[in-house]
Copies of this chain bind each other. A is one copy, B any other.
Amino acid sequence: MDREIYEYRARILKAMANPSRLMIMDTLSSGEKSVAALQEMIGSDISTVSKHLSVLKSAHIVIDRRSGAQVFYRLAVPCILDFFSCVNMVIQSDAEKSGRVASMIG
Contacts and interface: CB of A to CB of B under 8 A. Distances in A.
Interface residues of A, number: 43
Contacts of A68: none
Instruction: State the number of copies, please.
Output: 2
17 contacts: A3-B19, A4-B104, A5-B105, A5-B106, A6-B19, A9-B19, A9-B87, A9-B91, A10-B16, A10-B18, A10-B19, A10-B21, A59-B90, A77-B89, A80-B86, A80-B87, A83-B83
A86 B81 CA distance: 9
Interface of A: 1-10, 12-14, 16-23, 26, 41, 59-61, 76-77, 79-80, 82-84, 86-87, 89-91, 93-94, 104-106
B17 A10 contact: yes
Contacts of A41: 1
Contact of A82 (B9, B10, B19, B86): B86
